[in-house]
Amino acid sequence: MSAITGVGAYAPRFRISAEAFEEAWGQFHAAGVTEKAVPAADEDALTMGYEAATRALEAADVDAESVDWLAFASSRPPAAEEDLTARLGAMLALSESATRQLFSGSTRAGTRALWAGLDALEADATTALVVAADAPQGDPDDGIDHAAGAGSAAFVLEREGPAEIVDRAEYAAPYPGTRFRDTGDDETQGLGITQYDRQAFTETIGGAVSGLEIDPEPDAAAIQSPDGKLPYRAAGAAGVGTDEIQAAATVHELGDTGAASVPLSLATALADGDDSVLGVSHGSGAGADAVVVSADGDVPTVTALEGAEPLSYAEYLRQRGVVTTGPPSGGGAYVSVPSWRRSLPQRYRLEAGRCSECDALSFPPEGACDDCGALAEYDPIELAGEGTIEAVTTISQGGAPPEFAEQQAQSGDYAAAIVALETDGGDETVSAPAMGTDADPDAFGVGDRIETTIRRVYTQEGVTRYGFKVRPAEQ
């Protein structure tokens, strides 16, 4: 048997309402979605995956070092070719020898990753981490884009635990054209053949559920939600009532979260203490996975799904880069990709150095000691990801380096601070410059407490660089 021992879930802080769309378009094409989450300009599936994964590890109280199997699932990974699990694993401080798998191709990717994790535990893995994150995107006048939300969920799987996976089954049948994105395209499309699309949805969901050996009789049903209506149309096929679907639904507040849809609903149901949960995904192609989770009502979860900031439709277009022109043409100071890579222990894991001569901390740990000036070796020490603002400014338009011109066009003014980052326990600090994120620049003042997270820093030569930023500490 395999079990979920920790759950993490995350959604960006921005929300846009159905009314804002109606105001802009005269109508809103995503039935049943009242509002949806919008990723900030410095977020993507990888950073949202990191947010959920750190929370799942925290919930399960599992050391990153002990994770021996990692999966990352997204229908829209930020790079079409390049295995992002290497970066995600490094951000999470996983062992370099941990198995890594990437799942994509449809909105079913999240449950495919769960499948592979369960298979791995049945083989020789002991601690698996399944991360699903997504932010679908379509043409601005298309229903897929109107529904497109954002969010992520992650699960720590072990052989025993409070939420056992008691049954699973899958089903596939060919249904081309319901939802697709051709190679090189940026926007997901569908032909919009209403009855055909519904048949693909209900047939695969029904097929997967009828393959289950047990009759789940769930308290909550986490059904794939391309919009706020379709999952309810599949109630009969899934053998559940609409109340059970509603109990686990996230689509009404977060929108279509793609490959993270069923994982997010499953996480929500477990966080709510539901004992029996049926999860059924659907991915175009088409296929479906059904999974039954039996919980003892006490599954450790850490979630951050609350929306804090409403956006107008114009702000929504800016945040998503629809109406901005991209970075300025280049020249001048430049950090090469190899230079950036050398700094990853600092960017991802806040690795400072302790001077072997005087014991003072240096960040980054290179060159002569900032304190005693000795050209000594540094012993690596990971900082705790919390600290205090020592100096801060708000960078207004025109004040940003060119690397950040596009981000500023998308998301506006930002805070840039020098922060005193603490060691575990907070006895010592070392200073580092850091960009503010996840809050208005006004929320950053000298003396304020901060915590670190990982975000997109900038993209140059087509390569997105990720690294730590700071946000106001959770109270």
Q: Toward other proteins, which CB reaches closer, 328 or 380? A: 328
In angstroms, rounded to a whole number, what is the distance separating the alpha carbons of residues 146 and 255? 9
Element (H, E) at 19: helix 18-25
Least spacing, CB of residue 393 vs other proteins, in Å = 3
Contact between 450 and 421 (Cβ < 8 Å): no
Q: Toward other proteins, which CB reaches closer, 305 or 434? A: 434
Q: Toward other proteins, which CB reaches closer, 199 or 431? A: 431
Least spacing, CB of residue 405 vs other proteins, in Å = 7
In angstroms, rounded to a whole number, what is the distance separating the alpha carbons of residues 184 and 290? 31
Q: Which residues contact 130 (CB under 8 A, 6 or more apart)?
A: 71, 73, 110, 113, 114, 117, 154, 155, 157, 263
In angstroms, rounded to a whole number, what is the distance separating the alpha carbons of residues 418 and 433? 4
Q: Toward other proteins, which CB reaches closer, 355 or 392? A: 392
Look up residue 64 and give its DSSP letter. Answer: G
Least spacing, CB of residue 454 vs other proteins, in Å = 14
Contact between 48 and 258 (Cβ < 8 Å): no
Q: Toward other proteins, which CB reaches closer, 184 or 332? A: 332
User: What does residue 355 show for φ and ψ, rounded to 5 degrees?
Assistant: -65, 130
Least spacing, CB of residue 308 vs other proteins, in Å = 22
Which residues make up the interface to other proteins (CB under 8 A)? 328-333, 335, 339-340, 343, 364, 370, 390-396, 398-405, 414, 416-418, 431-435, 441, 446-447, 457-458, 467
Least spacing, CB of residue 152 vs other proteins, in Å = 25
Least spacing, CB of residue 34 vs other proteins, in Å = 35
Q: Toward other proteins, which CB reaches closer, 72 or 458? A: 458
Report the DSSP pairing between strands 14-17 and 35-38.
Answer: antiparallel
**Strand (E) positions, 149-284?**
151-158, 163-175, 220-223, 276-283
Q: Which of 4, 159, 134, 131 is nearest to 72 (CA)?
A: 131
Q: Toward other proteins, which CB reaches closer, 236 or 399? A: 399
Q: Toward other proteins, which CB reaches closer, 310 or 412? A: 412
Q: Toward other proteins, which CB reaches closer, 333 or 375? A: 333
User: What does residue 322 show for φ and ψ, rounded to 5 degrees?
Assistant: -70, -35
Least spacing, CB of residue 376 vs other proteins, in Å = 16
Instruction: Read off the tokens for 253.
Output: 């507040």
Least spacing, CB of residue 135 vs other proteins, in Å = 23
Contact between 188 and 180 (Cβ < 8 Å): yes
Q: Toward other proteins, which CB reaches closer, 174 or 398? A: 398
Contact between 51 and 45 (Cβ < 8 Å): no
User: Cα dist. 401→137, 249, 404 in Å?
Assistant: 28, 42, 6
Least spacing, CB of residue 352 vs other proteins, in Å = 12
Element (H, E) at 310: strand 309-310
Least spacing, CB of residue 407 vs other proteins, in Å = 8
